[in-house]
Amino acid sequence: MRFLKMNKTYTLLILIILLFSINNITTAAPLDFEKLVEIGLENNDSIQDIQQDIAALERNIELIKAGQDWQITIDADYSRSEDYQDKEDGNDGTLGLEFTKDYSSGFSIGPTVSITSDDYSPEYTVELSQRIFPWTPLESDKELYSQEKELEKLKKELAESRVSQLTSWMEAYLNLIRLQAKELLYKEQLKLAEEDLKEVIKKRDIGEAGQIELLEAELAVKEAEYQFKNTSKEFEEGKKDFYQDLGLSNEEELLLDENEDYLLTLMTKVSNFEIDPGKNTELLQQAEGISYELLANSFEREVLEKELEWLKSESNTDINLTGEYNTADEEGFTVGVNLSYLLYDGGQRKIEIADKEAEIIDLLDEYKRLKRELALEFEKKQHQIELDQDKLSQNELTYEKRILEEEIAKLQLAEGLINQIAYEENSLNRKDQEIALAEARDNLFISKLNLLALFKDESYFRGN
């Protein structure tokens, strides 16, 4: 008896543990649009490529800066002469420690400490140099300036890429929602067409329908079947592309909900945005201020203009002031002037200057062209919004018409003027137009979004 009681106790305990474990097993929640955006911005290949380029460039900048800091070198030398039996004369060795640093001002310093095996007393040397004429930046400073401008350019490219991906994902997400709705609608249409075919077959059997009616019904089934399968395939392929672009695994579950808070808030904000024609010039200037292509052109020009300035600053004459202090030298500190003059360089510098000037002119011409293209793009996007607004108005009227047709069909059904299948066809037509109306709203939303992307940064699209 006691054994049975203990057995029941253990069984109950095991059941409680199992129930507790099951309740604590949490399945991954479906991903809403806000979460999709977070994942996509982390995993998207295009964004990651730019981020990797930025990281590589930042490392290179740090490398240049490290090279501008103090450089310390230690060297040792030891030799033994053939007269190895004479310990005093047979060994010869030196140990040296050298410090060097070049400053942007043209000043360089190089302290050295060396010890020889003769008396093991240290010898101190300090070498100094100051460029007097002409003054041009160090090569490392030139490289640093160029790399920092390139980094600015890449950061602008990243910002534009993130906004571009955001608008693209919103369009793809809404398209998946509409495809899913169409898939359900076409499934209903297929079911209705199959029911209609059954009715036609019954009528044919009693002589109320002929071969033409039968063929028409069979054709309607085939068309509905094709439409359903094609939409299902389009939905699955669109979903795969969406997953691929966001960097999602196939195991992730996608929540398609146009009423999701993040998306709904953004859609409301964008839908309420109206462009004042009187502010077009101001908005276009904002667009120019964040355009990657224009900014990249400006950065490249700034680098070339600096390089041209440095080239023109160079001279055939170089004057450097030098100084040296050596503890082993009786004179102690010595000062000198180094003068050099390049008699002839074959016209190289003149050609280099002409090349830089030509490149700058080309970039200026390109900048003007890019500005014209941006203005044209701005105008086209505004025109597209107007077209989509007209299309939305048309769809709204058509939807109202479909609602009235469905109401009339309902009355006709009640009076026995039409059958159930005819009524359901009207109902499906109304649902089909409801999807078309939603797509028209989506198109207007995306058109406005694409225009806003020209002069709004990422924070606008992230709900800030």
Instruction: Supply the DSSP string of 371-383, one letter for each residue.
Output: HHHHHHHHHHHHH
| Per-residue pLDDT at 122 | 84
- 3-state helix vs strand vs coil in the chain, percent to 5: 70, 15, 20
Name the residue among 136, 137, 115, 135 with its Cα closest to residue 125: 115
54: tokens are 């930025």
d(CA 131, CA 317): 11
Whole-model pTM: value is 0.84
DSSP character at residue 279: G
| Per-residue pLDDT at 176 | 97
Name the residue among 233, 235, 248, 259 with its Cα closest to residue 172: 235
Phi, psi of 75 (to 5 degrees): -140, 150
| Per-residue pLDDT at 249 | 87
| Per-residue pLDDT at 24 | 43
- Which residues in the chain come in under a pLDDT of 70? 1-28, 80-92, 118, 463-464
Please count the other Cβ atoms lying within 10 Å of the Cβ belonging to residue 158.
19
| Per-residue pLDDT at 463 | 61
48: tokens are 């990651």
Name the residue among 349, 352, 372, 348 with its Cα closest to residue 360: 352
- Write the class of the CATH domain 21-69+121-461: mainly alpha
Residue with tokens 């600096």: 306
Contacts of residue 227, Cβ cutoff 8 Å, sequence gap at least 6:
186, 189, 190
C-alpha angle with apex 297: 300 to 44, nearest 5 degrees?
100
Name the residue among 196, 236, 239 with its Cα closest to residue 214: 196
SS3 260: coil
Name the residue among 286, 292, 264, 270 with its Cα closest to residue 162: 292
| Per-residue pLDDT at 1 | 47
Tens-place pLDDT, residues 28-48: 578 889 999 999 999 999 999
